[in-house]
């Protein structure tokens, strides 16, 4: 009986500290992005190019097809993150996207995070932000209040 009381008196560290301790590394995040590109984005590009656009030349000459492909990729990624906290690449690497307090994020939150990821990647300086800040977080994660953790 005394053992049970001792267990209940044990305090867990606050969620903020717990999730900061399990931050995912940049290599894991990069590898997850590569996997997602092959598993999600490449099939989208293939379908858009050869089914809807009838070939490579038509796809390359279109201004709308690449934008729609990226938007569809963002919607699918946001759907995965909002439902399961992981894209297929994240699952393969054992990492997950959560809020700073360790909770799931919603679909719109995940979609905005993806849009900010694209913007920071296009500007290129967003890639180097983690090396300049003390928090060591990416620009899109900092702006969205999210963190990428190793799944314990």
Domain boundaries along the sequence of the chain: 14-150
**CA distance readout (Å), 23 to 2, 62, 83, 99, 136:** 36, 40, 20, 12, 10
Q: What's the pLDDT at 139?
A: 82
- The mean per-residue pLDDT over the stretch 75-92 comes to 94
**CB-count exposure of residue 66 (10 Å: 0-12, 13-18, 19+):** middle
End-to-end alpha carbon distance in the chain: 30
The yes-or-no verdict on residue 10 having pLDDT over 80 is no
- Angle 125-132/107-123 helices, nearest 10 degrees? 100
Q: What does the alpha-carbon distance between residue 131 and residue 39 come to, in Å, rounded to a whole number?
A: 29
Q: What's the pLDDT score for residue 20?
A: 54
Look at 36-50, 60-74, 123-137 and tell me which has the smallest mean pLDDT.
123-137
**Residue 51 DSSP code:** I
Q: Yes or no: say if 95 and 79 are a contact pair by the CB < 8 Å rule.
A: no
pTM over 0.95, yes/no: no
């Amino acid at each position: 009986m005394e053992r049970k009381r001792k267990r209940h008196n044990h305090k867990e560290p606050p969620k903020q500290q717990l999730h900061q301790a399990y931050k995912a590394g940049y290599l894991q995040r990069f590898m997850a992005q590569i996997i997602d590109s092959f598993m999600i984005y490449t099939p989208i590009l293939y379908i858009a190019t050869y089914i809807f656009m009838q070939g490579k030349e038509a796809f390359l000459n279109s201004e709308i097809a690449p934008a729609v492909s990226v938007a569809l990729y963002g919607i699918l990624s946001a759907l995965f993150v909002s439902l399961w906290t992981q894209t297929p690449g994240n699952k393969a690497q054992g990492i997950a996207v959560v809020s700073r307090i360790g909770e799931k994020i919603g679909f719109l939150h995940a979609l905005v995070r993806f849009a900010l990821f694209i913007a920071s990647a296009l500007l290129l300086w967003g890639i180097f932000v983690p090396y300049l800040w003390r928090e060591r977080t990416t620009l899109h994660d900092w702006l969205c209040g999210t963190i990428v953790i190793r799944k314990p």
